[in-house]
Structure 1
Amino acid sequence: MGLFGWGKRSAARKEAALPKPVMIQHRTYDDPVLDAAVAEVSEGSLQAGLTVLAECREDPETRTLRAAVLGKTAIGHSDELTTIAEQAEDPDLWLLVGEARIQEAWAIRGSGSGASVGADRAKLFHSTLRRAVEPLHRSAKLLPKDAAPWVSLMPVARGLNVDREQHDDLWRKIIDRAPMLYPAHWQRLQYLAAKWGGSEEEMLAFAHGCVDKSTPGNPLVAMLPLAHFETYLPRFRKLLEERSPLKIATLQVRHFAKVAEELAEAADRWQTGPEPHVRDYEAHNLFAAAFCMAMDKDRAKIHLDGMGDRLHGIPWAYLGADVLEEYHQRSAKYR
């Protein structure tokens, strides 16, 4: 299914646009089928994207990952997708429309703090996010047992500052369908973070709860290092503003060293499982960076190796300005 001439690059231009870096950024998954679908959608062929979404309707971990990746691939084309979706009434297509609009909205906002987003940009961000709501509800209506559209609505709710009651209701809808879903817990933790109006105490309690309920092999335990990075970041940014290199160095040494023992226990609990998980690379990124910061060389090496040369912006972007540079700087000491 073509999308009005979208794509159509020559093979030479396509090859030139895809250099082969030492580290693979923004692709912390191992899903060759998804990679092939992304290539097809990038060239304007929609059918491959819909096929890979349809085939994992009973696998919420894979479905949510594929929806997010394909949505990012379709940035700038949500209106074209909507025109097709109006004729097809396909839950996978409506999910893709919603994800594309979410990705468009967050691209407008940027990754900085709320204070860095001007009034005009914030207004456009909110209006674009609101346009994701109806497609996701249409997808959910067509496939009532699917957790994916409800997970997609979580960053929408966060960006639109919905009240706690509405967010709790959204959370219950997801947990009823997929109680251990990794991206849902990631989004819930972000909502509970202080930067979005929550508190460090509740966020950390939630992260510890994720560890407690995780079974061996489930990377949900990575919510713990994620929470500690979310407490680290505001302190780091404050010291940057104060231009206090000594205090920054002290923070970098002490923040993760203080929690190294509980991080180790969580990592050990996870790694006793035999089966791979689609979010393993993301979890290894979080633990690798945390153990690098805690100066635990042996554990850092385990998780640096576990990353499989796939680099996630969170947490490495939390440690410095450039993700790749920060990764190389930290990992060189511990590999």
Structure 2
Amino acid sequence: MWPFKKRPDDAETDTVKFNDLLRDQGARQLLRALRERDWPTARDILTAADPEHFMFYMWCVSGADGLQEWIPDVIRAEPDSTLPLLARGAHAISWAWEARGSGTSSTVGEDQWKVWFQRLKLAENCLDEVIDRDPKCAEAWHYLIVLGRARQLPMEERWRRFNRLIEIDPAHLLGHQQMLENVMAKWSGSTEAMFDFARTRAAACPGTNIPLLVAQAHREQRRVEGSDKYLRRADVAGEIYAAAHNSFWHAGYQRSLMTPMVWNQFAHALTVGRYFREACGVYDLIGDDWINSTPWRTTERFVTMRDRARDKADDPDLDPDLDED
């Protein structure tokens, strides 16, 4: 049995820290440069990145505070470059959500809707210009997929954007996750479409991060059904376990920047599904260095579920239900 306490004490929880930047020095330097409005440094980091790092770095750019205040000056200063346009377009989507808020549509006021649509249009215009000039820019297609959902475009157009993305980068993780959102019932898709997409793309991309979509689809269905009992069903937990074997446990898998994100989500799903011994192996990979806020939300929750898995690994039948908060 793994030698861990059943409940985290305050000292143990205090030593656990989230690391959403994946211990990547480039991401830290990029965010610092953006805070300081140092575009030359940010540009150098972005242009030197490989495709996976560039995907992650653009995610960092999309949430950078205050970018819209100064990036138009960069666009004017560098008219031949699509990079500042891409940065402005990706960021404008987050900027639109900032204006709208995260509540349901009934909580959004008329003025908020006006700003929401203005900023989404800005994003679309910037990204359209990028792909007009650089049709193989994967990140432009990625954020156009996000816009397809935000603007509630016809499903045919959402699929067109996704298909263009995977022509360029067949295993683009964030783009796949965004398309999964697009086909969910809450965004004019359906439960059937969600699972079909997750399973089809997982089967098409063995030994990559993409089989994570299967676990994410089941997590969404758990949200719909409102109880972890769904994730504890033998067929559901078994499919998530099989997806882990098709992903980071696959013989052909190569660890990369995004691997810790995959570990964290599978560790959570395997724990809830009572694959405790298997989850323990994933927690060992995560260790203290690779803990992400998603899907745990709090460090206390991470420690509780990790210790639960290690405590129950040799005796899963005695495990009580522990639903999500």
Is this contact kept in 2: 1:228–1:256, CA < 8 A?
no
Counterparts in 2 of 1:71 and 1:262: CA distance versus 1, 3 Å: same
Q: How far 1:113 sits from its partner (Å)?
A: 4.5
One-letter amino acid of the structure 2 residue matched with residue 288 of structure 1? A
Alpha-carbon distance in structure 2 between the residues aligned to 1:205 and 1:297: 27
Alpha-carbon distance in structure 2 between the residues aligned to 1:155 and 1:274: 27
Is this contact kept in 2: 1:256–1:290, CA < 8 A?
no
Alpha-carbon distance in structure 2 between the residues aligned to 1:300 and 1:315: 14
Is this contact kept in 2: 1:281–1:310, CA < 8 A?
yes
Q: Deviations over 1:193-218 (max 9, x none)?
A: 111111111101111112211232x1
Q: How far 1:311 sits from its partner (Å)?
A: 4.3
Say whether residues 1:88 and 2:81 are aligned partners.
no
Counterparts in 2 of 1:61 and 1:114: CA distance versus 1, 3 Å: farther
Q: How far 1:52 sits from its partner (Å)?
A: 1.7
Is this contact kept in 1: 2:37–2:70, CA < 8 A?
no
* 1:279 paired residue among 258, 262, 266: 258
Say whether residues 1:137 and 2:118 are aligned partners.
no
Q: How far 1:67 sits from its partner (Å)?
A: 0.8
Unaligned runs of 5+ in 2: 1-13, 311-325
Alpha-carbon distance in structure 2 between the residues aligned to 1:326 and 1:123: 38
1:43-54 equivalent positions in 2, closer than 5 A: 43-54=36-47
Alpha-carbon distance in structure 2 between the residues aligned to 1:129 and 1:311: 32
Q: Deviations over 1:210-241 (max 9, x none)?
A: 2211232x1111001111111111222xxxxx
Counterparts in 2 of 1:262 and 1:178: CA distance versus 1, 3 Å: same
Counterparts in 2 of 1:105 and 1:26: CA distance versus 1, 3 Å: farther
- Residue in 2 that maps onto 1:261: 238
* 2:177 paired residue among 186, 201, 205: 186
Q: How far 1:129 sits from its partner (Å)?
A: 1.7
Alpha-carbon distance in structure 2 between the residues aligned to 1:254 and 1:313: 23
Q: Deviations over 1:256-303 (max 9, x none)?
A: 433111111111122233521222122112111111211221122222
Alpha-carbon distance in structure 2 between the residues aligned to 1:119 and 1:334: 48
Is this contact kept in 2: 1:219–1:277, CA < 8 A?
no
- Residue in 1 that maps onto 2:295: 315
Q: Which has the higher contact order (CA 8 A, sep 6+)?
A: 2
Alpha-carbon distance in structure 2 between the residues aligned to 1:130 and 1:26: 29
Q: Deviations over 1:100-150 (max 9, x none)?
A: 212212233344444554444343223222211122222223333221111
Unaligned runs of 5+ in 1: 1-19, 237-250, 318-322
Give the match's secondary structure for 2:228: helix
Give the structure with the larger helix fraction: 1
Percent identity, aligned pairs only?
Answer: 23
Counterparts in 2 of 1:280 and 1:116: CA distance versus 1, 3 Å: farther
Give the match's secondary structure for 1:85: helix
Say whether residues 1:200 and 2:191 are aligned partners.
yes
One-letter amino acid of the structure 1 residue matched with residue 268 of structure 2? A
Alpha-carbon distance in structure 1 between the residues aligned to 2:290 and 2:107: 29
Alpha-carbon distance in structure 2 between the residues aligned to 1:118 and 1:311: 37
Query: TM-score, normalising length from structure 2?
Result: 0.82
Q: How far 1:23 sits from its partner (Å)?
A: 1.8
One-letter amino acid of the structure 2 residue matched with residue 91 of structure 1? T
Counterparts in 2 of 1:132 and 1:280: CA distance versus 1, 3 Å: same
